[in-house]
Amino acid sequence: MADVTIIENADDGAIADWLAARLGEALASTEGPVTITVPGGSTPFPIIGKLLERDLDFARLVVWPNDDRIVPEDHAASNTGKLRALFEPAGAEVVTLTEMEAVPRFDLAWLGMGADGHIASLFPNTDPQLDEARRIVRLTPDPLPPEAPFDRISLTLPALLDSAQVAFVIRGEDKRAVFDAAAAGASDLPVARFLSGASQPMTCFT
């Protein structure tokens, strides 16, 4: 069973406070950059907005998307474009995912999860593996989500697991049931594979 600390009924502000505390600790521990990876979708952006109100040295922050839709960054479906609009005015660097990028070890991996158990763009049909040699892959969800019917580029399970700590934000009873089953080792969904390979501290906000 995965060792996950569950924090129930956390609102956006509480999650932003937790993230700010973790980032503050990471920034205090080094004079260099602090690198995080963050999810797309609708849930993270209000939390990011509150995080950016906190007193942190965002100029030392490097932000990697977990994944993105393969669209121009000025497209409404681009995670990277939305992240740039939020983080860059605060001085942070936002990385564009390409298969040529050398992926660092992350100080924090912040993940979401779909109701089908996917994380990043690692959908069940893509059969993600813990021993995947690549750190970034291009792939196509099947079925394509109707709200975002695009090919994807995504960090892989090993890339996401190469992090000092992990935070999940899981909203909704249906997703919570999927996550709980994965944490208990009762499924083989992408999130379950990720959790089975994790050894670092993990916190899940619901």
Which pTM value belongs to this model? Answer: 0.95
By the 8 A CB rule, do 70 and 144 touch? no
Q: In this prediction, what percent of the chain has a pLDDT beyond 90?
A: 91
Q: What is the pLDDT of residue 44?
A: 95
- Residues 99-120, mean pLDDT to the nearest whole number: 95
Instruction: Report whether pLDDT(16) > 90.
Output: yes
By the 8 A CB rule, do 170 and 163 touch? no
Q: What is the pLDDT of residue 1?
A: 62
Q: In this prediction, what percent of the chain has a pLDDT beyond 70?
A: 100
- Beta-carbon contacts of 108 under 8 Å, excluding residues fewer than 6 positions away, are 19, 22, 23, 26, 36, 37, 163, 164, 165, 166, 167
Number of structural domains the chain divides into = 1
Q: What is the pLDDT of residue 50?
A: 97
Instruction: Report whether pLDDT(2) > 80.
Output: no
Domain that holds residue 38: 4-205
Among residues 124, 131, 126, 117, the alpha carbon closest in space to that of 183 is found at: 117
Q: What is the pLDDT of residues 121-178, one digit of tens each?
A: 999 999 999 999 999 999 998 888 888 899 999 999 999 999 999 999 999 999 999 9
What is the average pLDDT score of the chain? 95
Residue 121: strand pairing partners = none
Q: What is the pLDDT of residue 80?
A: 97
